[in-house]
Structure 1
Amino acid sequence: MEEYLVFKRMFDFAPYTYCFQCCLPQSKNFNGEQPACHVGLAYKKGTACPFAGFIFKAVYSMWKEEKFRKLLVRDMGEGAKLSTLDELIAWAVQEHAERGRYNNCVEAFLWFCGNIERAKPQFFA
């Protein structure tokens, strides 16, 4: 659990870019990019996001499982080995907005969901 907390605490987002609690994109400069499930959430001190920790935990768990990690490196790693926690963190916090992409943590989660949908088209229905 301690290793996961180190991973999660390495994410430091600029205001209104990503949810600090769950990593989902927010409406940066009112661009409407936040997912529908995150629209209208009021962020007040002490308020918990209903998705808190989910994406962080999913990506960290994929990394911990060697079979998933190999697929992640193959499909998304872009040369990263992701063999240590430090390598995972350095890779996961990277964002490629100029290519229309989110940070690699969100992209890894979307990659995983996309693979589930291809394997079981009705999974998220």
Structure 2
Amino acid sequence: MSNGTPLTDADRWDWLISLRDTVCEILCPSSSNNYQPPSGVIMTCSALKQKYRDVMRVAAYGHPTVRIHFIYLKAEDDVLMRRVHERKSHYMKSHMVHSQFEALEEPTAEWDTPSSPS
């Protein structure tokens, strides 16, 4: 993305799995070293597609201490274009906003994803 090229699904898999595994490591207690996990972790990522969110949901399987919640901050493309344009020295370029909207699968029917206008 830093060179202005949107990521593909193939680019994202290892990154998403790494994020998920890191959260599980942080939230799961360990009897071997008396690690007491924090009560929660906030992790942010775009999770544009349902299959990306499903990768994160897997964290809750087999880990009773892990609960996943998504918050969908909905905004119109012109609002996001303006915000990106106003950023100084940021890797995200305005043409990439369009590609993200093209990839977006809105979580309208997903039970664990409340939405809010941004």
Q: Please classify the TM superposition score into its range, dividing by the shorter chain length.
A: under 0.3
Comparing both structures, which one devotes a greater share of its residues to helix?
A: 1
Q: Whose relative contact order is higher, 1 or 2, with alpha carbons under 8 Å and at least 6 apart?
A: 2
Comparing both structures, which one devotes a greater share of its residues to strand?
A: 2
Q: What TM-score results when the alignment is normalised by the length of structure 2? A: 0.27
Higher Rg = 2
